[in-house]
Amino acid sequence: MTWDEILPLLWPATLETAQMVGWSTLFTALLGLPLGVALVVFDRGGLRPLPAFKSGLGFVVNVGRSLPFIVLMIAIIPFTRVVVGTTIGTAAFVVPLTVGAVPFYARLVETALREVGADVVQAAQAMGASRTTIVRKVLLPEALPGLVAGLTVTVVALIGYSAMAGTLGGGGLGDLAVRYGYQRFETLLMIVTVVLLLVIVQLLQSLGDWVARRLSHK
């Protein structure tokens, strides 16, 4: 296989991977952030202690994190069909990607929030700030560098998940590597795909680290 044959295959596959990872990242942030906040707020010593409820949330999060992604993809096929109407293609695999990443990011959010100094929260409470205000104006801004770093790690994990999704009809670079690099023994295409994934991961990780550093200096 020549470069002239590889490039027309590589560009659409890259776009499909970008779509899967982009939409999954958006939904993961929207769902994982409040879930991570809840794990902190409802914990013992939190702003609104509800230990039993927090234990239930923690159990759900742990179950989601413990399932290997390829098992998760297969296990929630009926749910994916209900949500999207199909179980193949880029749009369909946004569902398992999001379901797999939300618990992961929620734990990273929880860790970042717990690093905020207790004295900062106590000072806000002493000034009469409400729980909602403390979360919005104290916890989240103070933990922002950690939240960005956690989201960066999650995006990198999603890129790896999206490659696995290609083995079950999800499209993207993983599908390209399986169909051509593995099944047809196109070594050059496999190498190009691997290098491209490495470059994408390095660029995203570097960007995330830079943003986190900038935020931590403010």
Residue 157 has pLDDT above 90, yes or no: yes
Stated pTM of the model: 0.90
Interior CA angle at 184 toward 179 and 190, to 5°? Answer: 70
Residue 140 has pLDDT above 70, yes or no: yes
Residue 3 has pLDDT above 80, yes or no: no
- Diameter over CA atoms, the chain: 69
Report pLDDT for 61. 92
- Residue 13's identity, in one-letter code, is A
pLDDT in tens, 189-217: 888 888 999 999 999 999 999 999 988 86
pLDDT in tens, 6-61: 788 888 999 999 999 999 999 999 999 999 999 999 988 888 888 899 899 999 99
Residues 6+ apart with CB under 8 A from 204: 152, 155, 156, 159
